[in-house]
């Protein structure tokens, strides 16, 4: 039987359990696991497996999920075995320059998001604003108005009745409307259900360093539409990111280095909403994450259980390959493209919790080495498993049109992705993705049960009690945004091991992302968190550093730069990009102080239900 924490049970009731017409849960954790395991194992009959073999596979899947060693993405947990929708989280849809194509894309957005998928688009092929339209003798509205239209379509969709739609819009740096795109989210709340990222290549980045001008290209006829100074445009991007976290950047050279079917399908030009999954037009990918925190042997000197981790990588790779066949696809085009490449996205969560068990600071050289070693190991095991699956089931159909060699006959065109794991990490009661710990203690109001829950990191609580420095005063201090660094009763090694995201330098954040990226054939979802005091120069250095270290993209967030923030801890904020409203909208209130501690002088209630006091700084946020 699976034993869920209070937090995990709340998430499961809100998000994953099947419900009756009144909205009451009709499942338990065990029946949820049984439903998913049966559905994903059942497709093995397509590969000639006997009934006994299928039952054994179902048992293995069930054990893995029940131990929370691996958790698939939210759409799989929500929809597997229900006959009602996609099991994939990530989609990229084509967006061509005609009214018919734009409306087809809008339709496909609705179909994908109806059951839980997040969508990405490239605006780069749309003619610029004001361009003449030969057929109507009118002028083009431009990519930003198309983006606003797609945003309105997405706003109509509540995914499976459980979460709002989320999207990524990407524009090439050479598009004539690039300056308007960079600023299109400068006003908070505009195009709220889209992340935006600028697509650049190494030529542009080198032009930035040299202070050179670069050409703008009209996609209608590839004519030169003008020139801009690369340094000035880059500064504008950096300022936007400093201002409110938008836009991010995608380094397309690095992205397409791992695109092995360029000759057949062309380059990847967009990603899913959080940027970790670059995809071809009409391609989708299903994700799942291994809970690294579960693979520590705590007997004696803590160490990683490599054999058990390897076994889980093998089984999880097979699970995700099965999902490709068990999936229900929103459109025929998506099914055709997805089955041609059979991409899967095996990733990790619980990395920060693994490090604290190993007594390794996240921002240390050793921490980065551990991250690199783990991802290299997972890559090697998953690649071997995909090769073995190809021997049994055949390579992905587009393999013979790829640039893979004879010794690279994979079942899946790519195998690894590190997603942010917003909700599934709460379900597994572990830290999210490869992010550091954000806070060691905070309050949450369980809106289902009508009670306030006081959450303390389970590893920190255990250490605090064992080493004699646990106190309610310390927990109160931490839940109000306080740090360990100014608590004299806390041992120095504890302060180093339990370092939290706001205390970690941007260089360490980027370095950790790069360490995982080296062995990840898709992308990494990681937010580079800054304190509110961070300068524009700090953001500039992070963006340049991410490019030079070989990252595929970068997103930054400066605490307090938005009024509406997902998770607030007193005056420090964890930034979650849209995917955490996508795969991580919390099912409870987040409270940073008791209401009694507010002076009640200037309470502002925002549209989201978040409240803040402009006089004393008290804040509380409800994310539904």
Helices (H), 394-501: 422-427, 458-466, 472-479, 492-497
For residue 621, CA distances in Å to 109, 427, 564, 593 come to 29, 21, 9, 10
Task: Single out the catalytic residue among 272, 291, 457, 529.
Answer: 272
Q: Which of 44, 246, 276, 565 is catalytic?
A: 276
Residues 6+ apart with CB under 8 A from 340: 396, 397, 398
Is 414 among the catalytic positions? Answer: no
How many Å apart are CA 213 and CA 226, to the nearest integer?
10
In three-state form (DSSP H/G/I as H, E/B as E, the rest C), the secondary structure along 340-378 is HHCCEEEEEECHHHHHHHHCCCCCCHHHHHHHHHHHHHH
Q: How crowded is residue 11: how many other Cβ atoms within 10 Å of its Cβ?
A: 26
Which residues lie across from 271 on neighbouring strands?
Answer: 278
The CA-atom distances, in angstroms, between 333 and each of 108, 121, 132, 321, 336 are 10, 15, 31, 19, 5
599: three-class secondary structure by DSSP = coil
Q: Tell me the C-alpha distance between 174 and 122, whole Å.
A: 13
3-state helix, strand, coil in the chain (%, to 5): 40, 20, 40
- Residue 463 CB contacts under 8 Å (≥ 6 apart), including other chains: 494, 498
| CA atoms of 581 and 576, how far apart (whole Å) | 8
The active-site residue, picked from 44, 167, 193, 274, is 274
232 part of the active site: no
**282 tagged catalytic:** no
Name the nearest CA neighbour of 322 among 304, 302, 342, 306.
342
State the catalytic residues.
Answer: 272, 274, 276
């Amino acid at each position: 039987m699976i034993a869920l924490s209070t937090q995990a049970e709340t998430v499961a009731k809100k998000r994953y359990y099947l419900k009756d017409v009144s909205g009451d849960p009709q499942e338990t954790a065990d029946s949820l696991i049984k439903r998913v395991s049966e559905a994903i194992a059942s497709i093995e009959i397509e590969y000639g497996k006997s009934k006994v073999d299928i039952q054994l596979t179902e048992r293995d899947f069930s054990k893995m999920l029940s131990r929370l060693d691996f958790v698939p993405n939210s759409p799989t947990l929500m929809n597997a075995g229900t006959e009602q929708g996609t099991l994939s989280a990530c989609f990229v849809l084509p967006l061509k320059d005609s009214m018919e194509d734009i409306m087809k894309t809008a339709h496909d957005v609705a179909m994908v998001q109806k059951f839980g998928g997040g969508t990405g688009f490239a605006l780069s092929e749309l003619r610029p604003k004001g361009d003449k339209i030969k057929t109507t003798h009118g002028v083009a509205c431009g990519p930003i108005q198309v983006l606003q239209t797609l945003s309105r379509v997405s706003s109509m969709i509540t995914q499976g009745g459980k979460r709002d739609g989320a999207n990524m819009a990407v524009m090439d740096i050479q598009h004539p409307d690039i300056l308007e795109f960079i600023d299109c989210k400068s006003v908070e709340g505009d195009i709220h259900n889209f992340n935006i990222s600028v697509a650049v290549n190494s030529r542009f980045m080198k032009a930035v360093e040299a202070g050179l001008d670069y050409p703008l290209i009209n996609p209608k006829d590839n004519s030169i539409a003008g020139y801009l100074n690369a340094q000035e445009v880059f500064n504008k991007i950096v300022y936007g990111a400093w201002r409110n976290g938008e836009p991010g950047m995608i380094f397309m050279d690095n992205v397409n280095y791992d695109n092995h079917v360029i000759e057949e399908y062309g380059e990847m030009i967009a990603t899913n909403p959080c940027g970790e999954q670059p995809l071809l037009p009409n391609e989708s990918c299903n994700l799942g994450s291994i809970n690294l925190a579960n693979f520590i042997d705590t007997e004696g000197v803590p160490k990683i259980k490599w054999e058990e981790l390897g076994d889980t990588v093998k089984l999880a790779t097979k699970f995700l390959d099965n999902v490709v066949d068990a999936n229900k696809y929103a459109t025929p085009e998506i099914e055709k493209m997805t089955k041609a490449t059979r991409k899967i996205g095996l990733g990790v969560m619980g990395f920060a919790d693994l490090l604290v068990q190993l007594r390794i600071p996240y921002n240390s050289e050793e921490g980065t080495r551990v991250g690199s070693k783990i991802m290299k190991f997972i890559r090697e095991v998953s690649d071997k498993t995909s090769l073995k699956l190809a021997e049994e089931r055949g390579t992905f159909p587009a393999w013979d049109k790829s640039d893979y060699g004879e010794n690279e006959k994979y079942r899946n065109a790519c195998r690894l992705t590190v997603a942010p794991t917003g909700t599934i990490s709460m379900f597994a009661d572990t830290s999210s993705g490869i992010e550091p710990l954000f806070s060691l203690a905070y309050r949450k109001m369980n809106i289902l049960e009508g009670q306030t829950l006081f959450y303390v990191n389970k590893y920190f609580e255990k250490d605090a009690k064992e080493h004699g420095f646990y106190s309610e005063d310390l927990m109160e201090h931490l839940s109000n945004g306080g740090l360990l660094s100014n608590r004299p009763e806390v041992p120095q090694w504890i302060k180093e091991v339990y370092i939290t995201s706001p205390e970690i330098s941007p260089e360490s954040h980027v370095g950790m992302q790069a360490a995982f990226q080296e062995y990840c054939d898709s992308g990494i979802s990681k937010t580079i968190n800054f304190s509110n005091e961070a300068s524009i120069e700090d953001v500039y250095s992070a963006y340049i550093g991410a490019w030079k270290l070989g990252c595929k993209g970068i997103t930054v967030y400066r605490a307090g730069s938005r009024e509406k923030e997902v998770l607030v801890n007193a005056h420090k904020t964890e930034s979650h990009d849209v995917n955490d409203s996508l795969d991580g909208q919390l099912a409870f209130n987040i409270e940073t102080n008791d209401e009694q501690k507010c002076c009640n002088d200037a309470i502002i209630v925002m549209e989201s239900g978040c409240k803040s006091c402009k006089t004393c700084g008290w804040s509380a946020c409800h994310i539904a």
